[in-house]
Structure 1
Amino acid sequence: MILDQVLLHKKSESKSFKDAQSSEKPLRSVIKALSWRVVGTLDTLIVSYVLTGEIALATSIASIDFITKLLLYFFHERIWNKIKWGK
């Protein structure tokens, strides 16, 4: 009986620790957003240049794309971090 209580307590502690680790800090979301946007922006720059043939226009498109999608990704990550489904 005592052993059952000790095991149950350890299991509870383990679950609490796991729950604490499953939530990302905002800074991690920012770093993930930045790294993903660098990749995505390079893709947008290349595609825009191939389609338009103008590097200035392609750079403008890629710059706007970088900012808007960085913000969208950050908030998307934060919202999904609050959802318990699938964790």
Structure 2
Amino acid sequence: MLTVLLLASLRERLGCARLEVPLPSPAPDAQAPTVRELLADLHTRGNDWAEALAEGGPWRVAVNQRFARLDQAVADGDEIAFLPPVTGG
């Protein structure tokens, strides 16, 4: 299982802050699933999910509290956080 955290405006838009999801299946040519496969699974939850977490959208991803790219491998027990842009004043 993976722990997915949705922070700030993503949490508000999608109506949840945390969910547990099964480890996605890896791409046919890969040994381990990646953040990209996780995103594909999350997109199947509906249009709101697909739009909010569209690839190239205004958010960043962290795996186990370290910023990551979409090709970052994920493993059972990992925490994946999606972070929208943050401004301060």
State the TM-score bracket (shorter-chain normalisation).
Answer: under 0.3
Structure number with larger C-alpha Rg: 1
Query: Hey, which of these two has a bigger chunk of helix by percent?
Result: 1
Q: TM-score, normalised by structure 1?
A: 0.23
Could you state the TM-score of these two structures normalised by the residue count of structure 2?
0.23
